A and B are shown apart, each in its own frame.
Chain A
Amino acid sequence: MSRVLNCSLIAVAAMLTASSALAHHSFAMFDQSKTVTIQGTVKDFRWTNPHVFIQIMVKNDAGVEEEWSIEMTSPEHLVRVGWKPGTLKPGDKITLNIHPMHDGSDGGQYLSGIGPDGQPLIGTPTPSQGQAK
């Protein structure tokens, strides 16, 4: 009985490792129960592996600008749906929907957004789609 239990525990541990491997890292750092909207100015669009980041300056409640790091997927995945290294440029004023960080730091997981031209960013769901496609 204990042998079966031990085997199962090893299998569970392996399974959890496998889940993490499918996405480079666990997404537990993002609070998936919350979606928040931030508006600001792009400071830097960092087109890097394993994750692309949007560095965006956002004013806090006191009106002071703070730099947020918004994590996207990899360049390989983004180019397949039409994103390019120049899709966002410093100075662009954009709106982003994100899952915020659990620890309250200035960052989050990218979900969707509105670009500087007022149009949805690539991959942002339209009302008829329901979710990002």
Chain B
Amino acid sequence: MIPRRLALTAGILLCCTACLPAQTRMPDWSGQWEIAGAAPSVSGGFKDSLDQVLKEMQWSPPNRPEVQAKVNQIDAEERKRIAAIKRGEEVAVTGPTCTFGFPMIMIDSPLMFEILPTPKETVLIFSGREVRHVYTDGRDHTPKDDLWPTPWGDSIGHWEGDTLVIDTIEVKSPFPGTGPDYLPVLAAGGEAGQALLVTYLSSRAHFVEQIRMVDRDHLENQMTITDPVDFTAPWHLTRTYRRVKSLNRMVYESCEGEGEDRNPIVNGHYTIAPPRREGFPTPAPTNAPAGQAPVTK
């Protein structure tokens, strides 16, 4: 028989544990995560070919007919460009943007990330130094008069057991030259980092994610996107995040470089500049953007 005092103590402990708010019992999602099917190659692109990615994703967003027609047109142009590059024909280049933004950073990015759940906020930190703040303290979305679109949007969340439910609005494309109603969703693959458009979203797009741990080495994100402008129905897609087992720390990725970006645009084309060994900065050539390495070859 259990002594009365011990039983009483155990009862109090059980009661206290049960009374704790659900969000104070945070799941352990520590470690680094990568998106399955979007792993990078050593060459600078992706391990899987673009065709493999398209086949494995099997994405079929419920695009309105006019949206699908535009997507088809854009992809036809892009396929021509990819073929031209493969044939060895020089084609014009466009300037890079170093931000993936949401939802791409969650569904088809080669960057690894960490997830830090805390009682009032869960933070997702990506190796490229993008950050998502998901507030789980019970607040509503930021009031409209204090809200504007950003590449990561406005996210609030709550826990349903060990599943984090995230609600995101007010997302805009991180890519320059795009309007408020052109948030592209791309499928990317191949050693040259080729990409095709799957769909694009309007400024009224609304995202709900349900992230849970499937097993110790896998997380799953079931995402539902609704867009009254571009979709005929909600789009459900699932992405799996795989634990990066070869590392026990986050490693910094910098698109801008650390004074060693050796790919200046010269006469409209990227090139490779020689390494800097002088130890002191040297002036950039007049035909390269400010901050780019000089070309001395």
How far, in angstroms, from A48 to B256 measured CA to CA in the complex?
A: 11
Say yes or no: A12 contacts B74, CB within 8 Å.
yes
The answer to whether B43 and A101 touch across the interface, beta carbons within 8 angstroms, is: no
**A-contact 0/1 string along B29-50, CB 8 Å cutoff:** 0000010000111111101010
Count residues of B near A (Cβ-Cβ below 8 Å).
Answer: 75
Of A13, A82, A105, A122, which contacts B297 at CB under 8 A? Answer: A105
Q: How many residues of A contact B (CB 8 A)?
A: 64
Instruction: Report A55-78 residues with CB < 8 Å from chain B CB.
Output: 55, 67, 69, 71-78
B252-274 near A? 1/0 per residue, CB < 8 Å: 11111110111100000111101
Complex CA distance for A50 and B192, rounded to whole angstroms? 15
Known contacts A73-B42, A77-B110, A81-B246; A21/B177 CB under 8 A: no
Given contacts A14-B182, A20-B97, A21-B100, contact A77 B78 (CB under 8 A): no
Determine whether the beta carbon of B47 is less than 8 Å from that of A132: yes
Asked if A17 lies at the interface with its beta carbon under 8 angstroms from chain B, I say yes
Query: Which residues of B in the span 201-257 have a Cβ within 8 Å of any Cβ on A?
Result: 244, 246-247, 251-257
Chain B contacts of A71 at CB under 8 A? 44, 262-263, 272
Among candidates B42, B92, B94, B197, residue contacting A77 with C-beta atoms closer than 8 Å: B42
Q: Are B81 and A49 in contact (CB under 8 A)?
A: no
Residue B127 lies at the interface, judged by CB distance under 8 Å to chain A: yes
Q: Are B43 and A72 in contact (CB under 8 A)?
A: yes
A37 neighbours in B (Cβ, 8 Å):
none
Q: How many A-B residue contacts, CB cutoff 8 Å?
A: 222
Could you tell me the distance in whole angstroms from the C-beta of A87 to the nearest C-beta in chain B? 11
Tell me if B's interface is mostly helix, strand, loop or mixed: loop
Task: Point out the residue from B176, B179, B192 that lies within 8 Å of A23, measured CB to CB.
Answer: B192
Q: Does A33 contact B (CB under 8 A)?
A: yes
Specify which chain B residues have a CB less than 8 angstroms from the CB of A116 in the assembled complex: none
A67: min CB distance to chain B, Å: 8
Q: Which residues between 99 and 114 of chain B lie within 8 Å of chain A, taking CB atoms?
A: 99-100, 110-112
Closest 5 interchain pairs by CB? A23-B193, A33-B88, A49-B254, A48-B260, A27-B192
Q: A53-B272, A132-B42 are in contact. List 20 more A-B contacts (CB 8 A).
A: A14-B173, A18-B184, A19-B94, A22-B186, A25-B93, A28-B85, A28-B93, A48-B258, A49-B258, A69-B274, A71-B262, A73-B41, A75-B251, A80-B39, A101-B271, A101-B272, A102-B88, A109-B44, A110-B43, A111-B191
- A selection of 14 A-B contacts at a CB cut-off of 8 Å is A8-B70, A8-B74, A12-B73, A15-B184, A17-B94, A17-B97, A18-B175, A19-B94, A22-B100, A23-B44, A50-B253, A67-B274, A77-B40, A131-B49
